[in-house]
Structure 1
């Protein structure tokens, strides 16, 4: 009977709590980030450009008295020229106690996945370093590319100074 209990415990461990991802598009691809990092969604509005900032750093915006750096992920991932229209969204994130925003082409929905649905990323040339990818989630006729947004936003090449270690 103790073997049976141990077996049941292993099965229970494999059925972890589902994970929720906010899905969004950049060009023709669909991406997902941990919904727990998302603070709010906003329509795109003009930002204040910072001199000598990398192209993907669109600038900063004032969000209720907080100065928020805004990163355009399409430009960061070299996915072509960004077009800002009524579908463009700024996803406001909270990472390590710091508020920042990412510009995406559009937001789709919140997708709930189990760990079993997330497949490892193959080692191929990509515009996104594999360090920043959680994996891939095949969903019916589409593929969701899951980004570790915390690792990406705290990476050295982003140039953002987070208030404390992650």
Structure 2
């Protein structure tokens, strides 16, 4: 099974959370921003770090390491916020995801996309896994990640 959009091989932006490699469809990436502390939101779930102003739009910021329970969150010089866009119906949704570091743009090419295995916090957000060199990259579903109803239910 191949991850296909418009019958073309997909490209993904790969990034790191702890020692794990993840990816999102490059078409869903609106912007990559240097880490800066967002404005906190009172009574938000522990993994919602706050909001940022992106050219006049208020964008919520979620720490994926905290969301996926991958250990303590340390904000280092390599830490970035991936601003992703998801189109739900007729409206666009933007959200920032804090990740440890951006790695590279990866093309699926002829590689096979394998279904997600196991039962973890991450599995419900995955399209599947893809071999990238000697590593396995977990491909995340942007629409599932940006589903605010699920985010609020998680707390």
Output the TM-score relative to the length of structure 1: 0.80
Question: Following TM superposition, where does structure 1 have runs of at least 4 consecutive aligned residues deviating by more than 3 angstroms?
Answer: none
Instruction: Name structure 1 gaps, 5 residues minimum.
Output: 1-15, 161-166
Pair member with larger Rg: 1
Instruction: Name structure 2 gaps, 5 residues minimum.
Output: 1-6
Work out whether residues 116 and 128 of structure 2, in 8 Å CA contact, stay in contact via their aligned partners in 1. Answer: yes
Structure 1 or 2: larger helix share?
A: 1
Number of matched pairs: 143
Structure 1 or 2: larger strand share?
A: 2
RMSD (Å) for aligned C-alpha atoms = 1.6
Matched residue, 2:145: 152
**1:25 lines up with 2:16 in the alignment:** yes
Alpha-carbon separation, structure 2, partners of 1:93 and 1:111: 17
Work out whether residues 19 and 115 of structure 1, in 8 Å CA contact, stay in contact via their aligned partners in 2. Answer: no
Matched residue, 1:41: 32
Matched residue, 1:125: 119
Q: How much does 1:125 deviate?
A: 2.9
Output the TM-score relative to the length of structure 2: 0.86
Q: How much does 1:155 deviate?
A: 5.5
